[in-house]
Chain A
């Protein structure tokens, strides 16, 4: 079944609304990206603005549900890893992603310096 483009647009909007409500501040989702990597990982990434490390550390458990629902709807199953990627200073969150990992990446992602898993 091909992905419905209109539904993808709606998912981006829903993610924006739910992140904003969860963090109680305006959160922009600039882009929803479905990805596949050479190693075998697949997932969905959301490019966000106005999210900082502390938001993920405090609200990670609630953000998990949003990410899981997006990935499940797009890829048919929930991700086994969710993470936020930060800018080089480690303060600003640049993107939030859910990934169906390949065997090799499952253990590596939690130890990546620029990622906060939740």
Chain B
């Protein structure tokens, strides 16, 4: 089953579910960020508890559950102050009153409290659960499910071991850099920016994110996204919950991504359905068909020794093409450098 992102407001959610009506039997949850607690992503709408109640009603009318995401990396404003934690508990109470049963939380203290209140808690990928032992700790705190660290998405052996401990959900279309040194700090930036407690004038991590991929297109292939065609590999190891990333995008974008994964295939530029960063699709074409077999042939046995391995570099030469002025500069349209 699929978890589908909502931009957060009732109108967009209603529009999205109306568009997806014919495939909703594959969707069990629609999630949205509640920025007042801070979230791990940019939020496009200032959603409050009243909005959540309306979204819950919209979801209920379409037969799907709503899932509220409170997953900041920095939680000092929630867990390190008694009155702040009381406010958090009051928020959970309000969500309960609104009919919300599913939460995505990052901080273990919040997981424990929400689980005790009876919520179904999925541990956020922001908690970076990437081994069975860590999953076990969250299970002991009352978590019902773990959304695994996307860095281990393609390590089928690791995902399988975690799935032996607790229900696992995999974020399929996050296109972040593999081994990204900026990830934690970017998530921390979002924690504060989404709450509005700091003014963020620049997003230097986002600048690097695009720049490093243009500099080495193999980074686009190394990114731990899961292709729509590969979902059956995960079902084979006991994973049946898949999360579509992209709550900061338009309804049309979300619909395209959701359909690709529900249909189990996408013809064309795979970057069209990958989140983070979506703008890359206008600069680069990632030929999805050229990635056939890559999960089994290379990615699932990846140990991160890119220098010696060369699998993704070779794959990128076949699968990645520059567009626009980059294509003009390279000449042939293939990647691999620009002549001086």
Contacts and interface: CB of A to CB of B under 8 A. Distances in A.
Contacts of B340: 21, 24
Contacts of B212: 50
Nearest to A94: B207
Interface stretch (A37-45, A73-81, A85-93): A85-93
Contacts of B211: 28, 49-51, 92
Interface string A22-66: 011111111000000000000000000111000000000000000
Given A13-B324, A25-B215, A87-B207, A20 B329 contact: yes
B204 interface: yes
Contact of A87 (B204, B322, B324, B326): B204
B207 A28 contact: no
Of residues B204, B212, B282, B329, which shows the largest number of chain A Cβ atoms within 10 Å of its Cβ?
A: B329
B279 interface: yes
Contacts of B204: 87-89, 92
A25 B326 contact: no
Contact of A25 (B207, B325, B328, B338): B338
Contacts of B325: 12-20, 29
Contacts of A20: 325-326, 329-330, 338
Contact of A28 (B202, B214, B330, B338): B214
Interface in B285-340: 322, 324-326, 328-330, 335, 337-340
B338 to A, nearest CB: 5
B262 interface: no
B338 A26 contact: yes
B52 to A, nearest CB: 33
B256 interface: no
A27 B202 contact: no
Nearest to B216: A26
Contacts of B210: 28, 30, 49-50
Nearest to B210: A49
A51 B337 CA distance: 15
A24 to B, nearest CB: 4
A112 B326 CA distance: 31
B283 interface: yes
B18 interface: no
Interface in B179-213: 202, 204, 207-208, 210-212
Contacts of B329: 16-18, 20-21, 26
A24 B338 contact: yes
Interface string B210-228: 1110110100000000000
A105 to B, nearest CB: 20
Nearest to A31: B279
Contacts of B217: 26
Nearest to A27: B214
Interface in B94-118: none
A94 B205 CA distance: 11
Contacts of B335: 26
A87 B203 CA distance: 8
21 contacts: A16-B325, A16-B328, A18-B329, A20-B325, A21-B338, A24-B337, A24-B339, A24-B340, A25-B215, A26-B326, A26-B329, A26-B330, A26-B335, A49-B211, A50-B210, A50-B212, A50-B214, A87-B207, A88-B202, A92-B208, A94-B207
5 closest cross-chain pairs (CB), A and B: A16-B325, A20-B329, A17-B325, A24-B340, A87-B204
